[in-house]
């Protein structure tokens, strides 16, 4: 048996776009920016951002489209990850990282309308009071 899971915490880069395909199945896409801040050997602050395309299906898609907005901090749990290469406008080779979300959790961050958060996973919205996001600066992890 094989299994993979990825957890991504970042800020939504654009408002989710809801559409319906085939026999009325809801699909929502949004972008997620994960920014890593660190200090280099010379003491200069470095910042790198990785962009992810997140796709949600069915009830999760509808709820994400309703509650998630640009700038909001979310946690995404996914078991399907893809990397798609393409050529950018500048002619350079690029890679787009894509995940299909199994669970989306609303965290604190820009654009909050309320305190706290919740979880969207297939069937509904539930409290995530027992969830604490990781610290902002975890330093260099050796793996």
Query: Which tokens sit at 4?
Result: 């993979």
Predicted model pTM: 0.70
Model confidence at 85, in pLDDT bands (50, 70, 90)?
A: confident
Query: Which tokens sit at 71?
Result: 């700038």
For the CA atoms of 64, 68, 49, 56, the dihedral, rounded to the nearest 10 degrees, stands at: 10
User: pLDDT over 90 for what percent of the chain?
Assistant: 45
CA dist., res. 36 & res. 91, Å (int):
26
Residues 16-60: tens digit of each pLDDT = 999 999 889 999 999 999 998 888 888 889 888 889 999 999 999
Task: Give domain 6-127's CATH architecture.
Answer: Beta Barrel (2.40)
Query: Which tokens sit at 40?
Result: 């280099």
Delimit the domains of the chain by residue range.
6-127
């Amino acid at each position: 048996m094989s299994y993979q899971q990825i957890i991504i915490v970042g800020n939504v880069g654009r408002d989710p776009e809801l559409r319906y395909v085939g026999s009325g199945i809801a699909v929502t896409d949004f972008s997620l920016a994960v920014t890593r801040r660190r200090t280099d050997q010379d003491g200069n602050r470095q910042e790198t951002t990785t962009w992810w395309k997140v796709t949600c299906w069915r009830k999760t898609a509808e709820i994400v489209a309703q509650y998630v907005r640009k700038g909001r901090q979310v946690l995404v749990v996914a078991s399907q990850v893809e990397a798609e290469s393409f050529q950018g406008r500048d002619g350079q080779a690029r890679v787009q990282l894509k995940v299909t979300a199994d669970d989306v959790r609303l965290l604190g961050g820009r654009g909050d309308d309320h305190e706290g958060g919740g979880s969207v996973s297939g069937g509904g919205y539930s409290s995530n009071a027992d969830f604490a996001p990781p610290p902002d600066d975890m330093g260099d992890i050796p793996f």
